Chain A
């Protein structure tokens, strides 16, 4: 299982990676940090986040796609969410909904499913916020889950940590998910989905890959164990 974190610098990334290894993660998607340790106990996956309006996000996605294994697009407004869910080069839509607004609907959920964009469920506000903000975050999660399940949209789950104390073990996240009304297995599935995305993108970055279903070289059935979760 994989988790995704924001790291300000290499030292912060190292600390997060060490904690993730201790908590039993197989890998860690690190956003923001320029350098990540190579000899880590977990698989460290570099990722970039595109945080821009739809008028500039297109060119940013094009520029940064090759720079990192995972490309995340930050949503949060109707226009941003519409852009991200219609962009097949994006891997994950993060921050699609906030505690105060819900610019996501069935149309976008279907578009995300078609484009293979995973919708991120951030359990961070459930873990760290209190009072009304937390209540609204929980109800937004439930509403988002409803849309994602109805439209078969793939999803990922994260605790949105940026410091080691913010990371939670997979089992703790699963328990929190159940406590806020997400079905059994939903959180674990979302944590596994990061790993599947990483495997798929690494496969695509390899020399043999041409396009989905097409590989260079002689036919060998062993090569056709495509990673799951391909759109």
Chain B
């Protein structure tokens, strides 16, 4: 399949999300974020937000969401209270347009 022109590809935003109270394990955080998004917005809403953990750091992760759904993603992340089996809180530190900018600005700073 030919790649779509750049202007027609889906647009993303990358959220730098601090993980407090638990280790930023990719699978555990992904599961917690999916559960929270589905619980708050249902399956169609969850598919529209499409939160995906794309990068992990020492105490934070990068979550990719659809560009127009940043506020809904923020609400879903606020509803996460458990990661794995530990009580935890996910705090959005910043939003960027690329993974690299997100890591450089919000995770390494």
State the A residues within 8 Å of B (CB): 23, 126-128, 130, 134, 163-169, 171-173, 175-176, 178-179
Contacts and interface: CB of A to CB of B under 8 A. Distances in A.
B71 interface: yes
The 8 closest A-B pairs by CB, nearest first: A172-B78, A175-B75, A179-B75, A175-B74, A165-B89, A176-B75, A175-B71, A168-B78
A172 B75 contact: yes
A165 B21 contact: yes
B60 to A, nearest CB: 14
A179 B92 contact: no
Contact of A176 (B39, B78, B89, B91): B78
B99 interface: no
Given A130-B39, A172-B77, 7 more contacts: A127-B81, A165-B89, A166-B89, A168-B78, A171-B74, A176-B78, A178-B75
Contacts of B21: 165
A168 B88 CA distance: 12
Nearest to A138: B40
B81 A175 contact: no
Contacts, number: 49
Interface of A, helix, strand, loop or mixed by DSSP: helix
Contacts of A169: 78, 91-92
Given A165-B21, A165-B87, A169-B91, A179 B41 contact: yes
A171 to B, nearest CB: 7
Interface of B: 20-21, 39-41, 71-72, 74-79, 81, 87-89, 91-92
Nearest to B72: A179
Contacts of B75: 172, 175-176, 178-179
13 contacts: A128-B81, A165-B21, A166-B81, A168-B89, A169-B78, A169-B91, A172-B77, A172-B78, A172-B92, A175-B78, A178-B75, A179-B41, A179-B76
Contacts of B72: 175, 179
Given A165-B88, A171-B92, A172-B92, A178 B71 contact: yes
Contacts of B77: 172
Contacts of B41: 179
A147 B19 CA distance: 37
A210 to B, nearest CB: 44
A163 B88 CA distance: 11
B79 A23 contact: no
Contacts of B40: 179
A220 to B, nearest CB: 45
Contacts of A167: 89
